[in-house]
C-alpha cells in the first residue's frame, strides 16, 4: 500500500513523526510536508505563487520513507504530490496530522490538516485526518497511538465513497473508546482585541473561545471528546445544504 | 439595515465596487477588504500574525459607506469586523464578492469569497457570496447587476437557519434566469507541472482544468452556468456526511 502523509504543523512536528512511524506498519510512506507551521490554513492554495519542492534525507527513525518539503500549504502539498510524485498512480491513502490541537466542530472549516484530506477526497483518494486536543509542541500522543492502525484498517475496510473523508480527534490523556459523531454546532467568540505594537500602532492577534451551542447533545464530536472518547466524524466536500434545497 | 461587505480580490476590485454600489440601495454599508488579492485563501485565518486595520477615505461613487482595509484574509476580515466595528451589534447581512471567477462546484472549498460567508454563517449572520465566471480584472458585471438586489431580498425573506449561507454564481454574458442548484461533483486535474525559475531551480505554479463528473445532471451549479443560468446553491458549514453516519 502506498500512503501519502502531510500535516499543517510542518516538517519535524512530533505528531507528524508519530503518524509516519505508525503508518509504516501498513505500507510504503511518502511524506510531503510544509516547511513551516500552516495552522488555520484551511483549504488555502497558492494562486500565482511559485512553489519549491525538495527531497530531504530520511531520518533513521523513519528509515524507508520518502520525505519532501514544500513552501506551500497543506492543500498545496497534496496537489503537488498528486501531480508529480504520484502522477502515474494515485496513492492508496492520504493521512494528515497528527495535528497538535482539536479539529472538531467548526474548526474543520479552518483546519489545514483537514484541508489536505478534502483535496484527497476531491481526487477520490481515501483520507483520514488525525488530531489530538493538545496544542503543546511536546504533546503526548501515547494514548492515541494504539488506536491509529486499528481505526485506519477499519475505515479502509468500508466501501469508499467519492468526496468523503474522516476526521478523527482524540482527547488528552486516557481514552475510553471511539464514538462515531457529527460536527457539533458552535462558534468562536472574543477572537480579536486591540493591542499595541512596538511602534504604538493598533494590532489584532487572533485568540478566542469556543461557544458550544449544544453541550447536551450526545452525538457530537465535542461531547465525545469532553467525555474521554475519540470522535470519528465522516466529512463531505459537498457543502450543499440539501435541507434548504427541498 | 447594516450590511458588511468583503471580497477576496482585494480593495479596488471592480466586482467589490459594483457590489457596494448595489447594496447601498438596501442600507448602510461597511466594507472591510483585504489590501491585496486573496484568491484561493479558503477559510484561512492568520494564526499568530498581528493584523492591522485602517479606515480609508470613502470614494465619491460610494459616498456614505465606511471602508476599512486589513492585511488579513477574507475570513480574518469578517472576524475582525465582528469583534471590533460590530462588537455591540452584529451586522444584519454579510455579502462577499463579486468574485472575479467561478466559485461553483468544488471551488467552494478553496474560495476566499465563500470563506468569508462561512465565517458569517458560523456567527449566525445571513450571508451571500456573489461570483461571476470571468477572471478578467475588467469583467463585465452588467448582466448580473439587475439580479443582485432582487435575489438578496428573496433570500433575506426566507427563514434564517444557523450555519447556512448562499453561493450565487453567474455566467458570462446574457442571463436566462436563476436556478436553485447543488454543488456539482468534479475535480481539478493537471494542476502542477515542473517549470524552471531564473536561477535554474524547479518550481511549480498552480494551474489546471476542472473535470466535471456529472455533466448531464441538470440540478447542479455547473449545469446551470453552462446553460446560461445563475446558480443559487445553499451551503452549510456542517460538513458532516450524514449518509456515512447512518
Is A195 within 8 Å of chain B by CB? yes
Determine the Cα–Cα distance for residues A202 and A238; give it in Å rounded to an integer.
39
pLDDT per residue over B58-97, tens digit each?
999 999 999 999 999 999 999 999 999 999 999 999 999 9
DSSP result, B108-143: GGT-HHHHHHHHHHHTT--EEEEEES---TT---TT
DSSP result, B162-186: TTEEEEEEE-SS---EEEE-BPPPE
Q: Do A162 and B240 touch (CB under 8 A)?
A: no
DSSP state of B12: T
DSSP state of B62: G
Predicted local distance difference test score (pLDDT) of residue B246: 87
* Burial class of residue B199 (count of CB atoms within 10 Å of its CB; 0-12, 13-18, 19+): exposed
| B199's grid cell | 536561477
Determine the Cα–Cα distance for residues B98 and A61; give it in Å rounded to an integer.
50
Q: Which of residues 148-187 of B touch A (CB under 8 A)?
A: 161-164, 180, 182-183, 185, 187
pLDDT per residue over B152-202, tens digit each?
999 999 999 999 999 999 999 999 999 999 999 999 999 999 999 999 999
Q: Do A182 and B240 touch (CB under 8 A)?
A: yes
pLDDT confidence tier of residue A107, bands split at 50, 70 and 90: very high
Alpha-helical runs (H) found in A158-231: 221-226
pLDDT confidence tier of residue A246, bands split at 50, 70 and 90: confident
Q: Do B238 and A182 touch (CB under 8 A)?
A: yes
pTM for the full predicted model: 0.98
Who's near A40: CB < 8 A, 6+ residues apart? A110, A111, A112, A206, B44, B45, B46, B47
Of B43, B50, B51, the CB nearest to A109: B43
**CA A28 to mean position of chain CA atoms:** 20
CA dihedral (B79, B84, B88, B91) in degrees, to 10, reads: -50
Q: Mean pLDDT score of chain A, rounded to an integer?
A: 97
Nearest chain B Cα distance for residue A134, angstroms: 16
**Residue A76: is its pLDDT beyond 90?**
yes
Q: Are residues B208 and B133 in contact, defined by beta-carbon separation less than 8 angstroms? A: no
Amino acid at each position: 500500500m502506498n500512503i501519502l502523509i502531510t500535516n499543517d504543523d510542518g516538517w519535524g512536528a512530533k505528531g507528524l513523526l508519530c503518524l509516519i512511524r505508525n503508518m509504516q506498519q501498513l505500507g510504503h510512506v511518502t511524506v510531503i510536508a510544509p516547511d513551516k507551521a500552516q495552522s488555520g490554513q484551511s483549504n488555502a492554495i497558492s494562486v500565482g505563487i511559485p512553489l519549491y519542492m525538495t527531497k530531504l534525507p530520511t531520518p533513521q527513525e523513519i528509515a524507508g520513507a520518502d520525505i519532501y518539503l514544500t513552501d506551500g500549504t497543506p492543500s498545496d502539498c497534496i496537489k503537488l504530490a498528486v501531480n508529480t510524485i504520484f502522477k502515474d498512480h494515485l496513492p492508496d491513502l492520504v493521512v494528515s496530522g497528527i495535528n497538535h490541537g482539536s479539529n472538531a466542530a467548526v474548526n474543520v472549516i479552518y483546519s489545514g490538516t483537514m484541508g489536505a484530506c478534502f483535496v484527497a477526497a476531491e481526487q477520490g483518494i481515501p483520507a483520514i485526518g488525525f488530531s489530538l486536543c493538545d496544542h503543546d509542541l511536546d504533546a503526548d500522543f501515547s494514548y492515541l497511538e494504539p488506536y491509529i492502525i486499528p481505526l485506519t484498517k477499519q475505515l479502509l475496510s468500508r466501501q469508499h465513497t467519492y468526496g468523503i473523508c474522516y476526521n478523527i480527534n482524540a482527547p488528552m490523556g486516557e481514552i475510553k473508546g471511539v464514538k462515531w459523531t457529527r460536527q457539533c454546532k458552535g462558534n468562536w467568540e472574543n477572537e480579536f482585541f486591540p493591542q499595541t505594537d512596538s511602534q504604538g500602532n493598533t494590532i489584532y492577534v487572533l485568540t478566542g473561545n469556543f461557544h458550544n451551542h449544544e453541550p447536551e447533545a450526545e452525538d457530537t464530536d465535542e461531547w465525545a471528546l469532553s467525555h474521554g472518547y475519540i470522535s470519528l466524524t465522516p466529512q463531505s466536500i459537498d457543502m450543499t445544504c440539501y435541507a434548504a434545497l427541498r
